[in-house]
Amino acid sequence: MTAAREPADPAAKVIPIESAPSWSGPEPRPALADRLADGVGAALSGQLGATATKLLGKGWEQRAASGLGFLRRRLTGDYEVDDFGFDRELTEEVFLALLRPLAEKYFRIEVRGTEHIPAEGGVLIVANHSGTIPLDALMTQVAVHDHADRHLRMLAADLVFVLPVVNELARKAGHTLACNEDAQTLLERGEVVGVWPEGFKGIGKPFADRYKLQRFGRGGFVASALRAGVPIVPCSIVGAEETYPMIGNFRTLARLLGLPYVPITPTFPWLGPLGAIPLPTKWTIQFGEPIPTDSYPKEAADDPMLVFNLTDQVRETIQHTLYKLLVQRRSVFG
């Protein structure tokens, strides 16, 4: 501290005491930056540079530079988020990069029918929910980004936004609360919105009920699509049911913790944290033909019969596609 106060920087003397931050001497950082830079520079021109090229492959400098650019924007808060808290850069560079190996290498997801997702404009993707932990939703987000080059904005349960850490990550990944207002705002802004209308009934159903679609809520998602006049794309996900086969439920513990369920699977909780590793099932995500809603007048959203009929149509489509995919499937771990 005292060393930094010495006359290395003559301008430092004129800073009045009140305005000079008391926690540090004037500008020690540039000196640190210089020393760091000199050190790294010397190392790079010597043995280290050659080693790095050998280890990391050619062009590692560029990658490192873009990494530093990313770090710079993060450290200084110089990035944009949208009204919903969606951090596009963080999602692309970090979240999707972390999830991608899981989707491609671990679950070996086969994605079909991405041509049904329009290249632009609002669309509502409706999918079946399963697997105790909403991995299926995250994998769909990866699939939509990698195969259709769009960002999936999912509607998540309110539990997600009550939990610390989870709510922060969810918002930054572009998810928002499953409510009519948010769904409609996103659809009107031309986003791809994903909804899993079965909710906890679907994701927390016993293994015996696998691939049997539960009730589709109250059809709120259909009303939102009708109001925004956007197509509904049914999406069927096979493979997620078997990642965590739920054979029981600690009801009392769940009630104590305020959770919808605490699953018992063949591995959890018996193997402890190891039991939290999903089974390496082979997945298929099939996007179906879009169901247009723009032929209906805006008031149609307030017609319960129409909403229920459309809801049923979406549900039936997903259920039939699931059965078709299951018949084609050779083995769970295929």
Contact residues toward other proteins (CB under 8 A) are 19, 21, 23-24, 27, 29-30, 32-34, 36-37, 40-41, 44-45, 49, 53, 58, 61-62, 64-65, 68-69, 71-72, 74-85, 87, 158, 161-168, 171-172, 176-177, 179, 181-182, 185
Nearest distance in Å: CB 302, other proteins: 16
**CB nearer to other proteins: pick between 139 and 183:** 183
Asked if 79 and 73 count as a contact pair (C-beta separation under 8 A), the reply is yes
Report the residue number, 178 or 285, with the smaller CB distance to other proteins.
178
Of the pair 67, 121, the CB lying nearest other proteins is at 67
- Considering beta carbons, is residue 68 or 277 the nearer one to other proteins? 68
49-58 burial string, b = 16+ CB within 10 Å, else e? eeeeeeeeee
Instruction: Work out how close the CB of 187 gets to other proteins at its nearest, in angstroms, rounded to a whole number.
Output: 13
Strand duo 192-195 + 123-127: pairing: parallel
**With the C-alpha atoms ordered 254, 255, 256, 260, is the resulting torsion angle positive or negative?**
positive
What is the DSSP annotation of 97-140? HHHHHIIIIIS-PEEE-GGGS-SSS-EEEEE---SSSTHHHHHH
**Residue 297 carries which DSSP code?**
-
**Least distance in Å: CB of 34 to other proteins?**
7
Q: How far apart are CA 92 and CA 152, in angstroms?
A: 12
- The first and second tokens of residue 34, run together, are 């210089």
Nearer to other proteins, 85 or 275 (CB): 85
Cβ 187 vs Cβ 125: under 8 Å: no
Instruction: Label the pairing between strands 263-264 and 248-249.
Output: antiparallel
CB of 155 to other proteins, least distance (A): 10
Tell me the C-alpha distance between 71 and 87, whole Å: 15
Give min distance, CB of 164 to other proteins, in A.
Answer: 3
Secondary structure class of 75 (helix, strand, coil): helix
What gap in Å lies between CA 328 and CA 293, rounded to an integer? 31
- DSSP letters of 133-155? STHHHHHHHHHHHHHH---EEEE
Nearer to other proteins, 95 or 211 (CB): 95
Cα 314 to Cα 319: distance, rounded to the nearest angstrom: 9
Residue 18 beta carbon to other proteins: minimum distance, rounded to whole angstroms: 9
Between 69 and 101, whose beta carbon lies closer to other proteins? 69
C-alpha 88/C-alpha 97 separation (Å) is 13
Q: Considering the complex, state which of residue 167 and residue 284 has its C-beta at the smaller distance from other proteins.
A: 167
Least gap, CB of 1 to other proteins (angstroms): 13
| Alpha carbon 6 to its chain's center | 51
Paired tokens of 59: 């062009």
Alpha-carbon gap, residue 24 to 6, rounded angstroms:
13
**Closest CB 270 distance from other proteins, rounded Å:** 29
Q: How far is the CB of 4 from other proteins (least distance, A)?
A: 13
